[in-house]
Amino acid sequence: MTDFRSAVNALARRLSGHVCEPGSAEYAEVVAIDNGRTRTPPALVIRANAVADVRQAILFARETKLPMTVRGGGHSAAGYCLNRGGIVLDLGLMKGMRLDRDKKQLTVQMGATWKDVYGYVASDAAGLIPVGGGCLTVGLPGFLQGGGYSFVSRSYGLGSDNVTRIELVDASGTLRTLTADAADPLDKDLFWACRGGGGGNFGVAVEMTLQLHKPAATTVLGGQLSFPLKRAEEVIPAYDKWAAALPDPMAAYGYVGNDPDPAEPTRKIPTFRITPVYNGNYADGVELLRPMLKLGPFGVQLHSVTLPALEMAIGRSTLIRDRQAYIRSGMIGETGWTTEMIKAVQERMDCAPSPDSFVVWTHGRGKVLNPDCTDLGPYPHRDKQYVFELKAIWNDAADTRRNVEWAYDYGEALSSQFHGAYVNYIDPLQRDWAKAYYGDSLEPLRRIKKAVDPDRFFRFQQSVDSDFEPDVAHRPLDLSPLNRTFV
């Protein structure tokens, strides 16, 4: 213990950032991530303030033989940014940004969240927008390394498609510059792998350069059209057919959950909701919505706002806010929403243990399927119509099993219709998870992982080279994978 204390003190003297330990208010703040279900306390947190601090953290972890994980925005669905008894490298102090107006590019340090980026571009980027996340507190490194869907992805591709450069500190502590035309073949491979191959696998991304875009109009159309869920068998097929024919500038997300009854706002009713976002003239967007409006929604809200303002407004509704949560995902392919899927959604929502649980799906394809860039990363689900996310949310830890088993069974009821899963909604109970997340990209990703990190310094339960598989064949379900970072 004396040797460890001496090593910590020596580390603290080398950092421009600082170390925080259990018992301090700052430590408690860093380990309190969005999902209140996951609280795995590390031995200490290293708060990096510069790239040199990241290197020092890696060398310290190697010296002490303690496992290390990296915290960007602290929004990990499974809590893998934390760990029990090891080291957490927190990037939250590293939020620097610089704009190249001529190239329409924004260089961002990886402690930034999308709230930071949207605030910056709203004030300094002269109307340019990033391809960013719809939840404000999500950090950039995990989002972008997992692919990253945006409300404007149908217009401009995935977030990862719009990354032009990555600064990465590898497992030896070496800073590498990753680009599509890097001189070192391994750096080129890493540039490919880090744009869809999942966060936490290949090193610590400390800075990325993002391609920004000039939107078609100064504001976007955003809002919601709400229908009672009891009309789902009528309305969702009509939505599905309509959404499949939309032009790329229109995204139409879907949601099923409990929303306020407009006739009595203190009461909530099961609702199917469309969230349209049109990257263009407001009147043109309204015209595209006409077929859905003719179906007679019970509630319609449409706004003309800047994209950053819309992201901030919608993002607040997705937060777990320290409640308990478990997340599942699935990719919906060419068949779209089948009658069996719609009935399953209605039935499963009707027996939800918590009224706060919901499902939401991202509208894919468009430029995700046919991006303007030619140097694509390993993300394998570009052809999918929708990315389905189930978010079980509850308040009391005593209700964990009931809610998790409900959500697990919900996902299994749809699994025959799913074509893979989304790594940014990483799920410790996902069967055959590596193939589900990465598809045909799995083997090249594992090859690159072995080349850059041969002793598996960067590892966790579902790191790309892990052979972990959850035991989901028996009841009661083994929930232990939900409460750990390492196998």
Which residue bears the tokens 């209700």?
399
What structural domains and CATH numbers belong to the chain? 2-90 (3.30.43.10), 97-211 (3.30.465.10), 220-433 (3.40.462.20), 441-483 (no CATH)
With contact defined as beta carbons under 8 Å apart, do 81 and 100 qualify? Answer: no
Task: Count Cβ atoms within 10 A of the Cβ of residue 38 and give its class: 0-12 exposed, 13-18 middle, 19 or more buried.
Answer: buried
- Look at residue 267 and give its three-state secondary structure: strand
CA dihedral defined by 412, 418, 422, 423, rounded to 10 degrees? 60
pLDDT of residue 83: 96
Q: Supply the pTM of this predicted model.
A: 0.96
- Asked if omega into 476 is within 30° of 0 (cis), the reply is yes
Residues 6+ apart with CB under 8 A from 9: none
Interatomic CA distance for residues 295 and 316, integer angstroms: 28
pLDDT per residue as tens, the chain (487 positions): 678 899 999 999 999 999 999 999 999 999 988 888 888 999 999 999 999 999 999 999 999 999 999 999 888 889 999 999 999 999 999 999 999 999 999 999 999 999 999 999 988 878 899 999 988 889 999 999 999 999 999 999 999 999 999 999 999 999 999 999 999 999 999 999 999 999 999 999 999 999 999 999 999 999 999 999 999 999 999 999 999 999 999 999 999 999 998 888 889 999 999 999 999 999 999 999 999 999 999 999 999 998 888 887 887 766 777 789 999 999 999 899 999 999 999 999 999 999 999 999 999 999 999 998 878 999 999 999 999 999 999 999 999 999 999 999 999 999 999 999 999 999 999 999 999 999 999 999 999 999 999 999 999 999 999 999 999 999 999 999 999 999 9
SS3 of 141, please?
Answer: helix
* Number of residues that make up the chain: 487
Strands 87-90 and 68-71: parallel
Kind plus residue range of the DSSP H or E element containing 107: strand 105-109
Q: How far apart are CA 410 and CA 426, in angstroms?
A: 16
**274-333 residue pLDDT tens:** 999 999 999 999 999 999 999 999 999 999 998 888 887 887 766 777 789 999 999 999
Measure the N-to-C terminal CA separation of the chain; round to a whole number of Å.
25
